[in-house]
Structure formats: C-alpha cells, structure tokens
Amino acid sequence: MPLVEVNGVGLYREVVGDGDPLVLVHGSWDDHYAWLRVRDAFAERFRVLVYDRRGHSRSERPPGQGTRFEDEEDLAALITALGSGPAYVAANSFGASTALGLAARRPELFRGLTVHEPPLLDVVADDPVPLPMITSVRQELAAVLDHLRAGEDLEGARRFMDGIALGPGEWDKLPDKARDTVVANAPTFLDEHGDPAWAALDLDRLAGRAVPLLVTHGTTSPAWLHPIAARLTETLPQARAHVFEGSGHVPHVTSPEEYVDVVTGFVEEIRRAG
C-alpha cells in the first residue's frame, strides 16, 4: 500500500480485516512487521490498522528534532481517517507511551486501550524503591545514545537490547531481519530521546479520562519495567492489569495466541459493559 500523508509526513500503513477498528502501535527500533504473528488473528474480528511510526522503516523520516507529541498526533489522524469513530488500540513499549499520551488529551478517540510496558521512567521518579534500577537504566541509556551519536548504530542497538529491553545475549537470538530493522531505525531512537518529554505522562489528566485501560507486563521482562506498570494501575482508576507469565517485552511476538486472547477478551468486556 502506498504511503499516506499524515501531518505532512508519509506514513506506511496496512489495513486488513473487517469489524470494529483496532490500531496496533509498535515500539522503538521496530515497525509494523512486529505485529505479523497477531495481525491476521485480529483481522478475523477487527478492521486492523498497522503502520510504521514516523522515522521507522518505510515511513518518512522528517528532518529536525521530533517529539512524542508528533507521534501522538499521527496516531490521532490515523484513527480519524479510519472513519469508524473511536478505535480500540493496542500498543507496545514507546508506542504504548504514545498511545497513553494521546488518551490523556483525546479520550474520545479510544474505545479501549491496551498498553504493554511503556518505558515512562518519569512516572516513578519520585519512588525511592525502584530508584537504583531506574538510575542504572538511565546510565545505560546514556551509553546507548553516545554510541548512536558517534554513528555506532550496531553497537548501540546491541547494547540497548541486551542491557535495557530484552536481556543479556538476546540480541544474538534475534532473526537477521529483526536485527537489520533495529539498526536501520537507530537514528529515530536517538531522535525520540532528544525530546525532553519522552518519558513523561500526565497521570492526573489521564486519571480523569473514561478510557478503559489494560496495562500488561511480562514476568521475564527487565525488572525496571514492572514498577512503571504498577504505578499506572495503582494511579489510574480505569486501569486493570494482566501479567504474561513466561513472556517479556514483546508478548505479541513470543506469546501471540495469548496476546490475541487477552486483547480480544478485554474488548469483549468493554462491549458487555456497553
């Protein structure tokens, strides 16, 4: 499918299936291909939209410093362009941060939202318990960004996956295609973290929004992601939690059948509630 112009940027998107709209939002370093193992199963029940966020893979990479707000506005435009009213949204990692940020500002766009492990470090900045972990992650992230600024995209990608997102040795386990995608999208990861607000979320504002919310995390994910998920479920009255036993940061890849069941079950709960 050709690029569609969204907020002045050409975005690659695919729409498959029929039914209520479901938009899938990928994380950093990644693209729409990450949803391949769940897309067709979702398409049996939903009209599914997957896309490459700006700066990723087949979408255009605009010059200059970007912001998460721009990603949020892209998501808003894509939901609106579906023409079916508000959408269900399922989002992973930085894509989850993007979806939550939009839900705080534009709740009317969402029928329901499922987020898996948004890396919103700022929401636990006042909690002394995870502080040592969060400090370590920030230091490791700074090292990753130093590699990327030096043009060492491969080393930066390896260090991020092994030291922050997936765990030691996981980079070498990724398929060649996945590693190629990650390295190709490294400049956009650097750009994302040039935005001072990349790790922030207005929890008070979101708490006042009537958006059904499912916050999930995996038991094998890096431990620093767990207190963020806990803070979201503790703070947001509309949120409930689900734990993917034996899965990590990308359950739609490692546990696709369970992921589809969890998201679909959440949607059914919303429908039954009217």
Q: What is the mean pLDDT of residues 27-53?
A: 97
Question: What are the residue ranges spanned by the domains of the chain?
Answer: 4-132+195-272
DSSP 3-state of 81: helix
**What pLDDT digit, counting tens, does each position of 37-49 carry?**
999 999 999 999 9
Query: 259 to each of 114, 164, 166, how far by Cα in Å?
Result: 10, 22, 18
Q: What is the mean pLDDT of residues 218-237?
A: 97
**Sequence-distant (≥ 6) Cβ neighbours of residue 13 within 8 angstroms:** 1, 4, 32, 49, 50, 51, 52, 78
pLDDT > 70? residue 211? yes
> Residue 222's pLDDT is what?
95
Which tokens sit at 243? 């734990």
Q: What is the mean pLDDT of residues 222-235?
A: 97
> Residue 2's pLDDT is what?
74
Instruction: Give this prediction's pTM.
Output: 0.97
Confidence of residue 29 (pLDDT cuts 50, 70, 90): very high
pLDDT > 60? residue 14? yes
Number of other residues whose CB lies within 10 A of the CB of residue 177? 9
Q: What is the mean pLDDT of residues 184-209?
A: 97
Which tokens sit at 271? 């429908």
pLDDT > 80? residue 1? no
pLDDT > 90? residue 84? no
In the 8-state DSSP scheme, what is residue 161?
I
Q: Which residues pair with 214 in a beta bridge?
A: 114, 240
Q: Please state which CATH number belongs to domain 4-132+195-272.
A: 3.40.50.1820
Q: What is the mean pLDDT of residues 103-107?
A: 98
Q: Would you mind telling me the total number of residues written for the chain in this entry?
A: 274
